[in-house]
């Protein structure tokens, strides 16, 4: 005997199936476009945004133990924002460890609030803060870096030097420093750029200039 076959779908059922496919396809395309948009955003390199005299853009970032720090809650204090490309990089003579290490005396001896900021996660920032002795915050989407000192492709920089391979596209904060006064105004900015104006993580800020902007240490930097 011939096997029993299910009846052909009705026109309405066929329409519903076609409509469902169309919806699924549209959703898939939207998802694909969103992923591409996010990827494009993460690969975006931006220039320094704030200048001396600007009101410091407010932000809230997480640090160790997912504790949140909001800049505006520090109004009435002088604040140093130290932007760096990556935690647990560099040494005492160069890189991120040297940059933040040079600010320890400003934090511990002069009592100035110093906040390190990079793309790393709160988990990493907890261990890095303990190691370096400065409170560090996670700017995982580079949103604060874009508002203050800009971003650059650290991966491409390292790939081009044959230090890494396939790292291009890892965009993180420029090395930079911003000093904010008690009123929440920017009084000093610095970004690590070479003579051609390109981002260079090997260039470090001048601690004496930072102290002068804070009104401590050697004020005359001429």
Contact call for residues 42 and 139 (beta carbons, < 8 A): no
Contact call for residues 162 and 143 (beta carbons, < 8 A): no
Active-site residue flag, 98: no
- Give the Cα separation of 129 and 127 in Å (integer): 6
Q: Which of 31, 96, 98, 177 is catalytic?
A: 96
Q: What is the side-by-side order of every strand in the sheet holding 79-83? A: 68-70, 60-62, 135-138, 113-118, 79-83, 176-180, 186-191
Q: 46: helix, coil or strand?
A: coil
Report the catalytic residues: 96
């Amino acid at each position: 005997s011939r096997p029993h076959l299910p009846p052909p779908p009705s026109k309405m059922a066929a329409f519903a199936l076609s409509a469902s496919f169309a919806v699924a396809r549209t959703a898939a395309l939207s998802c694909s476009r969103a992923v591409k948009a996010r990827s494009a955003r993460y690969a975006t390199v931006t220039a320094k945004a704030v200048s001396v005299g600007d009101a410091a853009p407010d932000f809230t970032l997480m640090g160790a133990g997912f504790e949140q720090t909001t800049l505006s809650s520090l109004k009435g204090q002088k604040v140093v924002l130290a932007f760096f490309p990556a935690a647990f990089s560099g040494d005492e003579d160069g890189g991120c460890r040297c940059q933040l290490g040079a600010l320890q005396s400003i934090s511990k001896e002069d009592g100035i609030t110093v906040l390190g900021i990079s793309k790393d996660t709160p988990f990493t920032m907890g261990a890095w803060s303990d190691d370096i002795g400065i409170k560090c915050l996670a700017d995982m989407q580079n949103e604060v870096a874009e508002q203050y000192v800009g971003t650059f492709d650290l991966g491409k920089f390292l790939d081009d030097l044959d230090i890494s391979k396939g790292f291009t596209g890892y965009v993180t904060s420029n090395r930079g420093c911003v000093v904010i006064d008690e009123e929440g105004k920017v009084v000093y900015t610095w970004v690590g750029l070479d003579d051609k104006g390109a981002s260079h993580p090997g260039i470090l800020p001048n601690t004496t200039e930072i102290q002068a902007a804070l009104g401590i240490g050697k004020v005359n930097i001429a």
